[in-house]
Structure 1
């Protein structure tokens, strides 16, 4: 099963890169900035969901072991956030609320994601 995940991973990255556009991305974890530069922003549907991945559809990590981060809107103003690791683990970060002050940002219990 893990082998199938690794084989499918490049297809996911390429698919995200096909529709992606450059965005200014900032990710904070536990109050610390872990990523603050241009990345690929790929919208996912019309509900505001999106995926962040390395710029240009690169095969490298976004930061640390994280290859991409997905923000999946589950209801207006509320999203489920996950990070896909190099090991093919789709780790659940938790729920996040859209910032009232900055609509480009989503705030979770111990993380914040912004894409402009």
Structure 2
């Protein structure tokens, strides 16, 4: 009997812990100088280095067409890599370096300024 409670608890923790640290946020995603997403999103810290992912607040909807999550992966102070997770859970690196904005610290931008990922 005790084993079944433990197994149930482990399964519950696994199922419900995926977004334990996710927070509601307001996000703005600009790609090719066009605002592709602006609105309520889910902000998920990734690791202890400041990396994070953004997803649609509604888990049944994509953040962008063919993109379930956008990741900002910290490489060094104020420098990050842009990546995404597709609907099939394939992790895709974009090969784009992002720099933390000096104008708005909630934003990460590429050197051309035509890509911007912001979470408030």
Query: TM-score under structure 1 normalisation?
Result: 0.79
1:52 matched residue in structure 2: 54
Which of residues 106, 114, 117 is equivalent to 1:113? 117
- For the aligned residue pairs, the C-alpha RMSD in angstroms reads 2.0
1:72 matched residue in structure 2: 73
Gaps of 5+ in 2: 1-13
* 4+ long deviations beyond 6 Å: none
Gaps of 5+ in 1: 1-10
Which deviates more, 39-48 or 25-34? 39-48
Larger Rg: 2
Structure with greater helix share of residues? 1
* Residues 1:31 and 2:39 are matched in the alignment: no
Q: How many residues align?
A: 103
Deviation at 1:37, TM superposition (A): 0.2
1:4 matched residue in structure 2: none
SS at match of 2:68: strand
